Amino acid sequence: MAFTFQINNSLKFRHDEALLAKSEANRPEIIKKEVKPVRLVDICEDPAWLGGWAPADNGKDISSLAEYGCKRNDKLILDFGDHMVGTFRIHIDQTGSPMDAPLFLRLKFAEMPEELKAESRDYDGWLSRSWIQEEFVHLDELPADLVLPRRYSFRYVELTVIDTSPKWQAVFSDPVVTTETSADYSSFTPLVLDDPDLQKIYDVGVKTLADCMQDVFEDGPKRDRRLWLGDLRLQALANYATFDRTDLVKRCLYLFAAMTTEDGKISANVFTKPKNVPDDTFLFEYSLFFISTLYDLQKVHPDMDLVRELYPVAKGQMDITLKMIDENGKLLTDENYPVFVDWSNDFNKDTAGQAEVIYVLKQFIELAKLVGDTDIADYESSLIKISAYAREQLFNKERNLFVTTGDEYNIGSQVWMALAHVMSDEENKKIMESTIRELFPVKNIATPYMYHHIVEALFEAGLSEEAVKLMKDYWGKMISLGADTYWEAFDPDKPGYSPYGSPIVNSYCHAWSCTPVYLIKKYLME
């Protein structure tokens, strides 16, 4: 896996204040709830859990928390029983002789037990260590209510007394997390499934989505905490199948539309705190997926006023994309505007990118028809040319697979061509059957983002049994390893894989992982 930070400081962005105001008008209410821990645990070795570490009851009663005095190097681990996103507070007092020295306390917040076994001083990854959920606090006077201002993403809180003095001990009581989400469970009716494995996969997907629904669709509440367009597209689909917060989707679309480059290119992600700022990172299909997200919203909740308002932004992005197509209909990729498909750079992405253009261009033409765009014939002509190139130049009839410009056959190419329906339904099925026969089991792919597209391509090709099996093998495996929410990265062949070199900065609740809720409802319930 590889990632390169993009730095494009010379770019100039426009800020459409009218669209930003509409984004603000669609800001959702953040629903807050106080939750207390359910037990005290130790972290013990268990090969069945991720990293070989699992929570285990330690014999201490959580209701008697205030009776456990803690001296130098003592620790307590609070287990909240499920994944939490919110702010934390706890009451701290002292027992014994008068307090003749400050309390020096470390707090660690962890989504998975193995994070508690990782030491921040040993971290040497390429992501900033400032993301590590760890706090060191001095308290000069007790009793005190320690209220931490930051928001955390966690299930476990480890309290370690670094030091007091030999004369007294610290005691803790009333730990509470105030959770935050814009997902409204009060109006949500979950699916009830006959298959218990699929039910669990669905339930964990719902929790993953809810914890990423904040004042935007965050990609991960632990790390990054911003709005990415590729994540947004998938979260919006999952949202329609669950909480159906249309206002949140509109807010996110307005944010991207309001802050394009001067030539109309859409950023891969935007920041919203402390103010709205577009990132200077661009991914080829992420920009295109603004069109997909608008199209999907229109299909579920028709709103012609919104489509007319945002169509010029969509058209500008499509025009930028079509300039990358040569006279033969071939996509000319640009390393400065990378085709993403998946984190892995171990496979050629040209053909997948070609298919993504076809996928989105079909959706764009539908939007163009809705608004009565007089240029629609030009876009239809482009679709014919680009699709013909894919069928005539990239498809190998003998192998029943699409090839890349590097004479490579990979899963990404087949999946996106299937999703774009470049071939007939019958041919689509044969292509995905060839994919299973020649390119399965899936190797060197570690993102639920890519696994989502593989599963959906199987469903679209009429291979439901194979799609369900892959869903169970992948998302079900995360659950068996202790997941309360789905992870940013997971390779079943290397469960301990971290793209950052340490689990301490891994995101174990990540937006692009929640899509089984959408896949199950669309392909197994409708």
- Reported as a single tens digit per residue, the pLDDT across 411-448 is 999 999 999 999 999 999 999 999 999 999 999 898 99
- The enclosing H or E element of 466 equals helix 464-480
- What integer pLDDT is reported at residue 1 of this predicted model? 41
- What integer pLDDT is reported at residue 99 of this predicted model? 97
31-178: what CATH class? mainly beta
Angle separating helix axes 229-240 and 246-258, nearest 10 degrees: 160
- Per-residue tokens: 474: 């992948």
Tokens 């821990």 found at: 37
Q: What is the DSSP string of 378-404?
A: HHHHHHHHHHHHIIIIIEETTTTEE--
The percentage of the chain sitting over the pLDDT mark of 90, rounded to a whole number, equals: 94
**Exposed e or buried b per residue across 21-46, where buried means at least 16 C-beta atoms within 10 angstroms of its C-beta:** ebbeebebeeeeeeeebebbbbbeee
CB contact at 8 A, 99 and 142: yes
- What integer pLDDT is reported at residue 4 of this predicted model? 66
Distance, CA of 353 to CA of 405 (rounded, Å):
11
| Domain extent listing, the chain | 31-178
Q: Look at 284-293, 308-317, 338-347 and tell me which has the smallest mean pLDDT.
A: 338-347
Is residue 2 pLDDT above 90, yes or no? no
- What integer pLDDT is reported at residue 6 of this predicted model? 80
Distance, CA of 325 to CA of 516 (rounded, Å):
34
- What integer pLDDT is reported at residue 497 of this predicted model? 87
- Average pLDDT across the chain, whole number: 96
Would you give the distance in Å from CA 208 to the centre of its chain?
9
CB-count exposure of residue 95 (10 Å: 0-12, 13-18, 19+): middle
Phi then psi for residue 403, to 5 deg, are: -110, 155
512 contacts: CB under 8 Å, gap ≥ 6: 219, 230, 231, 234, 235, 447, 448, 449, 452, 488
- What integer pLDDT is reported at residue 8 of this predicted model? 79
Residue 293: half-sphere exposure toward Cβ, Cα within 13 Å:
32
Distance, CA of 4 to CA of 59 (rounded, Å):
47
Q: Outline where DSSP puts E strands in 261-418.
A: 269-271, 277-278, 395-396, 401-402
Is residue 91 pLDDT above 60, yes or no? yes
Residue 335: half-sphere exposure toward Cβ, Cα within 13 Å:
4
Distance, CA of 221 to CA of 204 (rounded, Å):
16
- The enclosing H or E element of 350 equals helix 350-371
Q: Outline where DSSP puts E strands in 28-74.
A: 31-35, 39-45, 53-57
- Reported as a single tens digit per residue, the pLDDT across 460-499 is 999 999 999 999 999 999 999 999 999 999 999 999 888 8
* Cα–Cα nearest to 260, from 197, 331, 312: 312
246 contacts: CB under 8 Å, gap ≥ 6: 297, 301
- What integer pLDDT is reported at residue 3 of this predicted model? 52
Query: Which of the 8 DSSP states describes residue 481?
Result: T
**Mean pLDDT, residues 370-389:** 98
**Mean pLDDT, residues 279-304:** 97
Q: What is the DSSP string of 133-190?
A: -EEEEEESSSSEEEE--S-EEEEEEEEEEEE-BTTEEEEEEEEEEEEEES--GGG---
Distance, CA of 98 to CA of 45 (rounded, Å):
39
Q: What is the β-pairing status of strands 168-181 and 31-35?
A: antiparallel
Is residue 241 pLDDT above 90, yes or no? yes
At 299, is the secondary structure helix, strand, or coil?
helix
